[in-house]
Structure 1
């Protein structure tokens, strides 16, 4: 085992322990962790697209992203937070600056806040939220880990060579199968009444996770960088680690919203 692989494993274990601990507690500790991750992603996003180098612009977008994040942290209802997010997004688009700055700045607000809102609302304070977040983690982590190992072991045609040359169709399929299996195992252990609907939901989340991974790869290729930052030893940046979780969390929130509403999205899915 190489020293870099050992560092990656150690970092992953520490991050998983922190995430699972906050998830188990729920409430404001979980929201605090989600907001802290969102601010780290915001810092990396604005650095990548050049906004961070313009102090005034950075501070403006920090305020715009900070307002809805603060509302999430103090437990304001989802409807109010989403209305504030829409307002901040529109203000971000209207903020003057060099060509493309407003689009990237406003896009960053959505990229940061939507998954924070989604995970915070799904987790909530009850047992259904705990099961829902653990299910989400299992699908995303299972997809990410097994896509890497299956892709390396099997190889074959590239998934999106223009965006991420290392990813293969075999890795994508293998990751999806293992991600679905991991999610179903979590639900079975939690005593959730299983059905094909959960298999479909897990598959959708796995696909969304891989789309999120490709989207972040596209951003990095667009700006000519390898990692979003060097914040996490052996892994790169927070965006590099949470790219799949960002999109999958939004997907799970939307599904839960359709089933049982914006304020209690986990109740209808995992409340049995």
Structure 2
């Protein structure tokens, strides 16, 4: 075994252990993880996109405030603040002579990453099952898309963005995600397959879109990895690209479900699982 592969395996085990332990305990532990992901994603985004000093400092202030709201468990307040901060960031971009969109885009991506993660896990008993549901389908998508794509090959999914991805891999990953996600949700809760199966499908597609989006950003700025924070794996964005966009979609499904069920905007894991 090469030293690089050994380092990659060890880093992967440590990351998985930290994430699963934080997910198990929930509460402050998981909110701390969510806030940390918000800050680290912004750090990598601002570095990749080469934000100017004033833009970067403004962004740090904004994501710092969002991180504190996430840490306190005030996800609803964080959503409102994110909307306000995005307005400010767009005004700054418009006032700039070059009118760049990278500050508001990075703020949205980093801020919603932590907010969505914290909202899915929440503090209710179903939050653990909801988060495992998302993990299962995202991991199944990644793993099976890779192996099915290599085994079958065929037309490329997005050759100009990520030449290695194929339609066969995307379809195989989605099918495996529906199976894995449904198995987790249905074995842990009384969720209905009528809701869980299409939800898993939507989140798997979102996960693959997130992977492609990060590939586009890296190709746009000519970088191989988002950073070198994780030994053998690159950066945080490289590891959570599919997960955070799947959580974006989960957050939207939770809002739709919660509003349609009772007319309130109380988001929890049960809303994601259709309970």
TM-score range normalised by the length of the shorter chain: over 0.9
| Distance 1:122-1:2 versus aligned 2 partners, 3 A rule | same
1:174-203 alpha-carbon deviations (Å, 9 max, x no partner): 111111111112113314334132111001
Q: Secondary structure at the match of 1:167?
A: strand
**Equivalent residue for 1:263?**
266
Residue 98 of structure 1: how far off its partner (Å) = 5.5
Pairing 1:88–2:107 present: no
Correspondence 1:52-67 to 2 at 5 A:
54-67=52-65
Segments of 5+ residues of structure 1 without an aligned counterpart are none
Alpha-carbon distance in structure 1 between the residues aligned to 2:231 and 2:63: 27
Pairing 1:46–2:46 present: yes
| Distance 1:170-1:271 versus aligned 2 partners, 3 A rule | closer
Q: Which moved more, 1:115-124 or 1:202-211?
A: 115-124
**Equivalent residue for 1:173?**
171
1:226-247 alpha-carbon deviations (Å, 9 max, x no partner): 1111111221111111111111
Pairing 1:99–2:102 present: no
Alpha-carbon distance in structure 1 between the residues aligned to 2:3 and 2:153: 25
**Equivalent residue for 2:8?**
8
> Would you say the 8 A contact 1:65–1:113 is kept in 2?
yes
Q: Secondary structure at the match of 2:165?
A: strand
> Would you say the 8 A contact 1:121–1:262 is kept in 2?
no
| Distance 1:269-1:41 versus aligned 2 partners, 3 A rule | closer
**Equivalent residue for 1:155?**
153
- Partner residue of 2:128 out of 98, 121, 130: 130
4+ aligned runs moved over 6 Å, structure 1: none
Residue 97 of structure 1: how far off its partner (Å) = 4.3
**Equivalent residue for 1:199?**
197
**Equivalent residue for 2:261?**
none
The normalised TM-score by structure 1 is 0.92
1:151-183 alpha-carbon deviations (Å, 9 max, x no partner): 122222111000000111111111111111111
Q: Secondary structure at the match of 1:234?
A: coil
Alpha-carbon distance in structure 2 between the residues aligned to 1:59 and 1:35: 18
1:112-137 alpha-carbon deviations (Å, 9 max, x no partner): 11121112112111211111111011
RMSD between superposed Cα atoms in Å: 1.7
Alpha-carbon distance in structure 2 between the residues aligned to 1:191 and 1:121: 18
The normalised TM-score by structure 2 is 0.91
Residue 7 of structure 1: how far off its partner (Å) = 3.0
Residue 3 of structure 1: how far off its partner (Å) = 4.1
| Distance 1:155-1:3 versus aligned 2 partners, 3 A rule | farther
> Would you say the 8 A contact 2:120–2:272 is kept in 1?
no
**Equivalent residue for 1:183?**
181
Alpha-carbon distance in structure 2 between the residues aligned to 1:100 and 1:210: 29
Residue 141 of structure 1: how far off its partner (Å) = 1.0
Residue 8 of structure 1: how far off its partner (Å) = 2.6
